Amino acid sequence: MSDRVPGKIIYVGSIPYDQTEEQVMDIAKSVGPVVGLKMMFDKETGKSKGYAFVEYPDVETASSAVRNLNNYTIGNRQLKCDFSWETSMNTVGSMNSRGKMDDALPPLPAGRSLDSNETYQSAITSAVGQLDDARRQQVIADAIKMTKRNSLLMDELLAQCPQLAYALVEIMLTTKKVDEHAIQSILLNNVTSDTTQYSETTKTTPPALGADEIEMIKQVVQLSDDIVAGLPEDQRAQILEIKENYKNGVYGSL
C-alpha cells in the first residue's frame, strides 16, 4: 500500500525503453481520461529513461490507475505505479522547493570502458575491493534509505545502472550481510519465473531476454555440480532444467 498522499499525478516506472509516448498514453487512457503525460528522456542521447508522469482529471481516476496499472505487463517487464510527490506537471523533472529532485534520477555517470582483457565482473570486484569497510557499510545504508524513501525510483536506478546492482550484491557478500546460497536462490527464482512464462506461451521463438536475464542464466549455467547437488530438490530440478534448455538453445544465442 502506497504511503504517499493520493493526488491527480502518478508516477509510471519500468517502462520498456522501446515504448513511445503514444503507446504509453494509450495504456494510461485505458483506465480513464488523461489530462497530460510527460515521459522522461535523456537530454544527451534522446533515449527514454523508462519512466513517465501522468495527470488525471481527479484523484479517483488517478487512484484507479495506480491500482490497475501497477504490475501491468508490457513485454517482459511490469510497470511500477504510485502517486507522485509532484503536484503540478509544470514542476516534473525540475528542482522542487526543497532543492531536491522528486521522482526523477539525476544524471548518472557514464562510467569507463573495459580493458581488452577485463570483464565487467572483474571491474566491479576491483572497484568494490578499493572501498574500506566503513564505505561499504555506508553504500548499503544509502541503498536501504533510498529504497524506503522511494522504492520505484530505486527500481529505475538499478534498471538504468545494473552494475550498481552487482556491486551491491558483492558488497553484501563481502560484508556477510547475505550468503552465497541466498543470492543463488534469488537468481534462480528470477530466471525460472521468466523461463516458465516462456514455456507456457511459446515453444518456437526464443524468449525476449534483457541483459539482466541473460546474465542470470549464464550464472546459473556456470553453477558447479557440487553446488547444485547441495540445493533442495525442487531448486536442483529447476537448475538442471535451465541448463538443459541452455544446452538445447531454447534461449537463443546468449
CATH number at residue 55: 3.30.70.330
> Do the domain assignments include residue 104?
no
Predicted confidence (pLDDT) per residue in 15-29, tens digit: 998 899 999 999 999
Q: Contact at 8 Å (CB) between 85 and 4? A: yes
In a domain, 111, yes or no: no
Position 130 in a domain: yes
The three-state secondary structure class of 71 is coil
Co-location of 13 and 84 in the same domain: yes
pLDDT digits (tens, 9 = 90+) for 156-185: 777 777 788 878 888 887 777 666 666 556
Kindly state whether residues 19 and 84 are assigned to the same domain.
yes
Length of the chain: 254
Contact call for residues 48 and 122 (beta carbons, < 8 A): no
Cα(2)–Cα(28) distance, integer angstroms: 19
Tens digit of each residue's pLDDT (9 = 90 or more) over 100-153? 444 455 556 556 777 878 887 788 888 888 888 888 888 888 888 877 777 777
Mean pLDDT across the stretch 42-56? 86
Distances (CA, A) of 56 to 30, 174, 233: 12, 46, 49
For residue 124, being part of any structural domain is answered with: yes
Asked whether residue 25 falls in the same domain as residue 56, the answer is yes
pLDDT of residue 72: 92
Q: Which position has the higher pLDDT, 238 or 138?
A: 138
Do 216 and 175 share a structural domain? Answer: no
- Let me know whether 126 and 71 are in one domain: no
* Identity of the amino acid at 84: S
The three cell numbers of residue 43 are 537530454
* One domain, residues 77 and 14: yes
Domain total of the chain: 3
Q: Are 104 and 95 in contact (CB under 8 A)?
A: no
Bridge partners, residue 80, by sequence: 13
The pTM score is: 0.45
Residue 205 resides in a domain: no
Same-domain status, 137 and 74: no
As to burial, measured by CB atoms within 10 angstroms (0-12 exposed, 13-18 middle, 19+ buried), residue 65 is buried
Give me the pLDDT at residue 88, please. Answer: 81
Mark whether 23 and 83 lie in a shared domain.
yes
Dist. CA 24–CA 89, nearest whole Å: 16
In a domain, 158, yes or no: yes
Provide the residue range defining the domain that includes 49: 9-88
Q: Which of 44, 65, 88 is the last residue of a domain?
A: 88
Same domain, 182 and 222: no
Residue 162: inside a domain: yes
The verdict on residue 197 lying in a domain is no
Residue 198 — very low, low, confident or very high, per pLDDT cuts 50/70/90? very low
- 29 vs 24: CA distance, rounded Å: 9
Read off the C-alpha cell for 121.
565482473
